[in-house]
A = this chain, B = another copy of it.
Amino acid sequence: MIKKGRTLIFENPPKIVGYASAVGKKESKGPLKEFFDIIFMDTTLKQKSFEKAEASLQTAAVNRALKKAELLPSDIDYILGGDLLNQLISSSYGLRSFNIPFLGLYGACSTMAESLGLAALLCESGAAKSAVAVSSSHFCSAERQFRFPLNYGGVRTPTAQWTVTGAGSVVVSQKGEKNLPQIKGVTFGKIEDLGITDINNMGAAMAPAAASTIESFLMDSGTKPSDYDLILTGDLGSLGSSLLVKLLFDNGIDISKQHNDCGLMIYKVKEQDTHCGGSGCGCSASVLCSKILRDLKNKKLNNILFIATGALMSTVSVQQGETIPSIAHLIHITSGEV
């Protein structure tokens, strides 16, 4: 691989040999319904708690991705995963049965890009023949951990986003058909903190991190926004998305024609009453692992940037008056040879 500035460019781009998404009821009523592999209409997935339900989302997404890749868990060298729950319990409980060496990651809602970027790096470097990346979130487990018990019926502020109930998983491999989607490069992000303190306005907190990572990648790769079919951020939502476009525009970079946001794609935002759109690790994970990767596989998309963004605070840090640090990791994905 070649390192240019902050960007790793892969000379033997790892292939995406399998991917799958597993989501809940609300997500199945959004615009991407037809693209999800598995839809659970029961919020608890027949488990005894929301946390166990979220772990089951990861299990289901990984199992389906492996099946689509026609691989067994024993064919996988590493599984890289993370989620929003304290001590990553969705991942450790959801993935323990696979018996695959496990690397736990935390990048808040950027985790899907962090896991996919590292999985690709492990394959490119020869450390792995195949690796799995996975991430999840669950509306109910997130609400009670980060905000209020659901029964409390707290009113949401207009800038709030809706945590997606969903998981996405990607199987990355050194080998695979030439016409499969492939990972061409990765830019891992720095922690940015512009002093936002409103936990209900995370799009605003995360936009500067996305802007910084996108700008670095474009500079390092010597490319411009119009070189891409799609510049897809993780879950900035409507407010954060407009901030991102403005921040980059002020630096002479116009992504307005190419930009979309997973948080704006997954729901009919107004009709489904999700305020600023979707969020959570499972948002970018399930959007990437449904419509986006299918469009890349079908050559409807050919050259995209996937930038998942994360807000790195906790309830404790916010209660202690801290600002919200953020991060964004970028993955450059192409559709493979025609």
Please report A residues at the B interface, Cβ cutoff 8 Å: 1, 3, 6, 8, 48-49, 51-52, 77-78, 82, 84-89, 92-93, 95-96, 99-108, 114, 118, 121-122, 124-128, 145, 188-191, 193, 312-317, 320, 322, 325, 327
Contact = CB atoms under 8 A, between A and B. Distances in A.
Contact of A106 (B105, B312, B320): B105
A320 to B, nearest CB: 5
Report which residue of A82, A96, A189, A193 has the largest number of chain B beta carbons within 10 angstroms of its beta carbon: A96
A316 B86 contact: yes
Contact of A312 (B88, B126, B145, B189): B88
Contact of A93 (B84, B93, B118, B322): B322
6 contacts: A51-B316, A86-B87, A89-B312, A100-B190, A104-B105, A104-B327
Given A3-B77, A3-B126, A314 B85 contact: yes
Rank and list the top 4 A-B pairs by shortest CB-CB distance, nearest first. A125-B125, A92-B312, A87-B314, A96-B191
A1 B189 contact: no
Nearest to A102: B191
A188 B189 CA distance: 24
Given A78-B188, A106-B104, A189-B102, A92 B325 contact: yes
A181 to B, nearest CB: 21
B49 A320 contact: yes
Nearest to A92: B312
Contacts of A6: 101
B316 A96 contact: no
A327 B102 contact: yes
A48 B320 contact: yes
Contact of A189 (B101, B105, B118, B189): B101
Contacts of A127: 1, 3, 8, 121, 125
Contacts of A49: 320
A121 B102 CA distance: 15
B108 A87 contact: yes
Nearest to A8: B127
B82 A52 contact: no
Given A1-B127, A316-B86, A325 B93 contact: yes
